[in-house]
Structure 1
Amino acid sequence: MDADKMSDLHEEGKNAINAPMLPIGTDIHPEDTLLEENAERIMLDPTSRENLKFKDLLKVLIDWINSELEEERIIVKDLEEDCYDGQVLQKLFEKLSGRKLNVAEVTQSEIGQKQKLQTVLEAVNELLRPHGWTIEWSVDSIHSKNLVAIVYLLVALAMHFQAPIRLPEHVSVQVVVVKKREGILQTALVTKELTSTTEMMLGRFERDAFDTLLDHAPDKLNVVKTSLITFVNKHLNKLNLEVTELESQFADGVYLVLLMGLLEDYFVPLYNFFLTPENFEQKVHNVAFAFELMQDGGLKKPKARPEDVVNLNLKSTLRVLYNLFTNYKNSE
């Protein structure tokens, strides 16, 4: 055996001893072994990819992007394949921030894509860093379709802009970190927390009155409920309708739609919503339609998701009704 082969064999043996065991099913691709000295590459562990909470988080983010970019006729199906070139991220950031970025519209070349990503990420980082965000993404990680980096970025944007979505709580994934030290590949399995609790995630922003109310003063909750019931009935009584329970009676969206018509003094055509909704989707349609009417009336987009109201989430329902109360309490 010649000296070169002997040296290669020795190197291979050293690698096998020094590299911790990788999880079964983790593939180290050839490009991962071509790292520069002290460079590292992070890959999602295959078992985490199948994690149901992680899959749920991906779906929530994809649905959110698609609803934000509906007018752009952009449809995202796969975060890795659709976000790496910067096009979707540019449009999403522009929509959320109301700022137009100075970038080329469509870029096919890798250099052009990375330049676009650089501009988008600089704008994102400039916005988020002052709020204490740890920047867990980079031009290279996004462009190399690193799903964990893409998700970190989207979660940060969703939370910063208070997206009307509910991110699944406590989503963690395991990633394989491959580093090159003194010519030797070292691997380690690291847990990354993508989301914490809803309260902590919202805690980066103002906690609203209902967080405080439900956490610290449940006795005052009935007073608030009574005020809201009095308010909504003052208007719904005009149609001979009456609410006795806030949690359930707004869950199908019908009363919300009718209430908006009464508050804004117009007739809502019956073909716009389901007067007797028969399933979850029809109820969500009604609540979402009521939210649109609220925004048409100059109110901010509700913090709640239509799905949360349909699912009898009291805090979400209270937030929506309280928003109406503060805006219309003096209307006859």
Structure 2
Amino acid sequence: MRTGLKVYFRNKFMIGQKSKLIQPGSLKDPLLEKLKEALIDWINRTLKTEHIVVQSLEEDLYDGLVLHHLLFRLAGVHLDVEEIALTSSAQISKLEVILKELDKRLGLQDSSLIKWNVKLIHNKDLLATIHLLVAMVKCFQPELDLPPNVKVEVVIVEVSSSGIKSVVQTEVLTEDSLLTHFFSPSRHLGEDPIEQLLKLEAHKVNTVKKAILHFVNQNMATLGLQVADMDKQFADGVILLLLIGQLEGFFIPLFDFNLTPVNESEMLHNVTLAMDLLHDTDLQLPSIDPQDIVSQDTAATLKVLYALFKKYKEK
């Protein structure tokens, strides 16, 4: 390590402290810039109704205000913290409450998996801030397409009484997108992505199902409806018909289907009508037996919702 850097790290960090910083060269990486822009755009769209505008990940998130509002907008969580924390101690106290709740919502029980903490966020650490935001996107808005395969070179520095040790390594900020893989138009036409998906590990299946479910609930929100169980709630055809109407922008007369089906025959009528409507809209859909959806067949239900997701997620 050059002498200038040694002096810098001795002045900046305490003895016994280990720190991780993005290499200056990586800070100029176009992929990193694209990721930062995507995260800023996501924050600003999410908080548009709050009239909060973020311009810099390094400068605008350290005091907890933005994270506080994101947690409320994305998870509906109300925290007993002051709206604007002006002093450093107040900001740290606010961040402690927010990050504790966020870590719980993100399902991160293993502290070794958490790449951020109150001190790092409050110190405007870009690496920690990006890791936190990417984790929030994965949890709360998994269908959002962040730039995949973003990696940076980081230098890990440990200061001791005998000197400074440093090592350079590559750190992954975003991985190859599973959703991009399955929803890519470049996939071979002969492949059935859902059949392939269901052969993968359970957590990968759940990632795709969660993204599709989020898409469904976004489109059903104006009707005051929410889907929690993908298999069961589509079995009677009602939600599926209403979703098709929302996406296509037309009204399906109530006398054409059973709004409260009481038996399998009425459910089958609903699902069959839905499949007929989908074929009329020229939706690219594999051959699916309506009875399979009524019988809560996961593959059949996913194939229909996957086709809708793929067609309408960008609209």
Can you list the C-alpha shifts for 1:151-189, whole angstroms capped at 9, x where unaligned? 000000000113442011111111122211234222221
1:55 maps to: 33
TM-score, structure 1 length as denominator? 0.55
The one-letter code matched in structure 2 to 1:145 is K
1:137 maps to: 116
1:180 maps to: 159
The one-letter code matched in structure 1 to 2:160 is R
Distance 1:147 1:216 in 2: 37
- SS of the aligned residue for 1:188 comes to strand
Distance 2:143 2:198 in 1: 24
2:69 maps to: 91
1:1-332, aligned counterparts within 5 Å? 21=1, 30=8, 33-130=11-108, 134-199=113-178, 211-213=193-195, 260-263=248-251, 318-319=308-309
Displacement of 1:81 after TM fit?
Answer: 0.4
Alpha-carbon contact 2:245-2:252 (below 8 Å) kept:
no
The one-letter code matched in structure 1 to 2:194 is T
Summarize the Cα distance change of 1:165–1:32 in structure 2 as closer, same or farther, 3 Å threshold.
farther
Alpha-carbon contact 1:37-1:183 (below 8 Å) kept:
no
Summarize the Cα distance change of 1:43–1:69 in structure 2 as closer, same or farther, 3 Å threshold.
same
Distance 1:175 1:98 in 2: 35
Alpha-carbon contact 1:94-1:100 (below 8 Å) kept:
yes
Summarize the Cα distance change of 1:179–1:130 in structure 2 as closer, same or farther, 3 Å threshold.
closer
Count residues with an aligned counterpart: 208
Displacement of 1:118 after TM fit?
Answer: 0.8
Displacement of 1:125 after TM fit?
Answer: 1.2
Can you list the C-alpha shifts for 1:272-317, whole angstroms capped at 9, x where unaligned? xxxxxxxxxxxxxxxxxxxxxxxxxxxxxxxxxxxxxxxxxxx976
Distance 1:178 1:88 in 2: 30
Distance 1:147 1:39 in 2: 18
- SS of the aligned residue for 1:193 comes to strand
- SS of the aligned residue for 2:81 comes to coil
Alpha-carbon contact 2:247-2:312 (below 8 Å) kept:
no
- SS of the aligned residue for 1:262 comes to coil
Displacement of 1:260 after TM fit?
Answer: 3.6
Can you list the C-alpha shifts for 1:112-155, whole angstroms capped at 9, x where unaligned? 11111111111111222457681000111111111010000000
Q: CA RMSD in A?
A: 3.5
Summarize the Cα distance change of 1:212–1:123 in structure 2 as closer, same or farther, 3 Å threshold.
same
Alpha-carbon contact 1:33-1:185 (below 8 Å) kept:
no
The one-letter code matched in structure 2 to 1:178 is V
Distance 2:16 2:180 in 1: 34
Can you list the C-alpha shifts for 1:30-52, whole angstroms capped at 9, x where unaligned? 47534333212222111111111
Displacement of 1:29 after TM fit?
Answer: 7.4
Name stretches of at least 5 consecutive residues in structure 1 with no aligned partner.
1-20, 204-209, 218-255, 266-314, 324-332
Distance 1:258 1:98 in 2: 24
The one-letter code matched in structure 2 to 1:262 is F
Distance 1:179 1:83 in 2: 26
TM-score, structure 2 length as denominator? 0.57
Summarize the Cα distance change of 1:119–1:211 in structure 2 as closer, same or farther, 3 Å threshold.
farther
Summarize the Cα distance change of 1:46–1:192 in structure 2 as closer, same or farther, 3 Å threshold.
same
Distance 1:214 1:160 in 2: 23
The one-letter code matched in structure 2 to 1:181 is S
Identity of aligned residues (%): 30
